[in-house]
Amino acid sequence: MLQQIIFSIVTLGAFWWATQQFMKIRRNIFLGKDEEVSDDSGARWRNVLLIAFGQKKMFKRWIPAVLHFFIYAAFVITQIELIEIFIDGFFGVHRFFADKIGGLYTFIISFIEILSVLAFVATFAFLARRNLLKIPRFMKSEMTWWPKLDANLILFGELALLVGIFSMNGADVVLQGLDPEHFPDTGFLAISGWLGPLLFGGLPEGILVIIERFGWWLHLLTVLAFLNYLPKSKHLHILLAFPNTYFANLQPKGEMENMPEVMNEVKSMMGLTEDTGEMSMEEELPEFGAKDIFDLSWRNLLGAYSCTECGRCTAVCPANLTGKKLSPRKVMMDIRDRMEEVSTNLDSGHQKFIQEDKRAAGVSLSKENYDDGKSLFDYITREELHACTTCNACVEACPVMINPLDPILKMRRYEILTESAGPSDWLPMFTSIENSGSVWQIPDERVKWTQED
């Protein structure tokens, strides 16, 4: 009974705290602008099945793809055994399904054990790749300290999970022969069937029970710790990869989003629409592009939280490969860091984060009146933005269909159209387009040739 009480308190407390954190993540994502997504749901579900669930884009690099699949498959299938752990914990029983489904139970647990061994191998391989082999894309400047530690913590957590599984199953196999009344027969398990007697055979029953309970609690606590760690980790992509691939842009990669205000102005200049008259002097000039996370789409912010930090985008970025500062991975990480900063400030409710002209008694801090004097430009330098060639290599490479190019374009649009700034070698081109409709500085109008006899 005591174990049931402790189990219930720990489990329900962990789920409650995780729910609070995931709700905050949801709030942060919707700090972005509204954007309706209602086109071709069939294609979107196809992306979820093939790319998020089927790992299709991962297999462009076979070695890490196969290793990742081992861990991914073990993680998914192990949840079946976790269901039994929850039932056992809440109701005070032991191996609830063992004597109910017979041989099927043996097959399921054996399959989980085989996948766990493969995941064990993959985990060590990934630890070696990150810490010994020093794969170049894991050694970039944005991957120091926390990102590196984060990746290693999850891998060590995976090892703890595997130790828990085999301690629990191995000791249980031996106990089935000593106390069959309390330890139901699981059949011969693929790994624990021989590993259990090899490691634990001959130990006193009391010690075996301690080992079995140790493995059971280690498995459970690792899962609960992982659940609460996810919102702070790049491994949030385990959950968000599915909605991110569903809501990913279905337009051809070379097709950029038009700004209605600019498009209508260009059409007016070319005589393709009726002249609606000049803008009133009292009318406030619109802001183009994005200065901060509030100006980005919620899909951009979802992508930032979905980033796996694998670095495939940066590894294929021509700007990065030629030594420029741009790293598409860093851009997405910076957007996420900015979201976290804004989130912390919003949670504080402090009046100093309210726009000065909107401060009044009783006014609460919200995303509509937020201003901390900072923006995304404090995270992402203009040099990085200018280095992008808009080639879409990063978009094509991402295994979960994140689009780093979209926020880069939106920030460049803000700099050029709202701030009237930009690299000095770009400005003559913009001036020429504005004056003559041509990127080349020629004295005649671009369409003059059509008027010649």
Read off the pLDDT of each residue in 368-388 and give the average, rounded to a whole number. 95
Does residue 273 lie in a domain region?
A: no
Greatest Cα-to-Cα distance within the chain, rounded to the nearest angstrom: 106
pLDDT of residue 354: 92
pLDDT of residue 264: 77
Alpha carbon separation from 426 to 207, 291, 325, 380, 453 (Å, rounded): 74, 20, 18, 19, 35
Same domain, 123 and 197: yes
Tally of structural domains, the chain: 2
Same domain, 189 and 244: no
Does residue 207 lie in a domain region?
A: yes
Same domain, 135 and 171: yes
| Res 293 pLDDT > 70 | yes
Same domain, 29 and 52: yes
Paired residues of 33 in beta bridges: 297
Helix ranges (DSSP H) in 179-311:
192-200, 205-229, 237-246, 260-269, 298-306
Express each pLDDT in 125-165 by its tens digit. Answer: 999 999 999 899 999 999 999 999 999 999 999 999 999 99
* Predicted structure pTM score: 0.90
Same domain, 307 and 201: no
Helix axes 62-91, 2-29, angle to 10 degrees: 130
Same domain, 92 and 185: yes
Does residue 442 lie in a domain region?
A: no
Structural domain of 227: 2-35+45-232
CA dist., res. 391 & res. 119, Å (int): 36
Q: Which of 172, 204, 164, 203 is nearest to 82 (CA)?
A: 164
CA dist., res. 381 & res. 141, Å (int): 14
Express each pLDDT in 65-108 by its tens digit. Answer: 999 999 999 988 888 889 999 999 999 999 999 989 989 999 99
| Res 248 pLDDT > 60 | yes
Does residue 281 lie in a domain region?
A: no
Contact status, residue 195 vs residue 166, Cβ threshold 8 Å = yes
pLDDT of residue 327: 97
Of 13-27, 54-68, 394-408, the poorest mean pLDDT is in 54-68
Does residue 432 lie in a domain region?
A: no
List, in order, residues 6 or more apart from 194 with CB less than 8 Å away. Answer: none
Considering the chain, what is the average pLDDT of its residues?
A: 90
Same domain, 239 and 197: no
pLDDT of residue 94: 93
Does residue 95 lie in a domain region?
A: yes
Same domain, 227 and 240: no
- The b/e string for 271-292 (b: 16+ C-beta within 10 A; e otherwise) is eeeeeeeeeeeeeeeeebbbbb
Same domain, 141 and 242: no
- Which is more confidently placed, 223 or 451? 223
List, in order, residues 6 or more apart from 148 with CB less than 8 Å away. Answer: 130, 138
Same domain, 339 and 382: yes
CA dist., res. 290 & res. 296, Å (int): 6
Q: How many CB atoms sit inside 10 A of residue 267's CB?
A: 12
Helix ranges (DSSP H) in 55-134:
62-91, 98-101, 103-131
Among 168, 197, 232, residue at a domain's last position: 232
Instruction: Specify the DSSP element, H or E, that contains 133.
Output: none
Same domain, 243 and 212: no
Does residue 347 lie in a domain region?
A: yes
Return contacts of 174-183, CB within 8 angstroms, 24+ apart.
Answer: 174/200, 174/201, 174/203, 174/208, 175/205, 175/208, 175/209, 175/212, 178/205, 178/208, 179/205, 182/94, 183/94, 183/95
Same domain, 7 and 84: yes
Contact status, residue 413 vs residue 289, Cβ threshold 8 Å = yes
Does residue 434 lie in a domain region?
A: no
The full 3-state SS of 61-77, as one line of letters, equals: CHHHHHHHHHHHHHHHH
Q: Say which CATH number the domain at 364 has.
A: 1.10.1060
Contact status, residue 167 vs residue 211, Cβ threshold 8 Å = yes
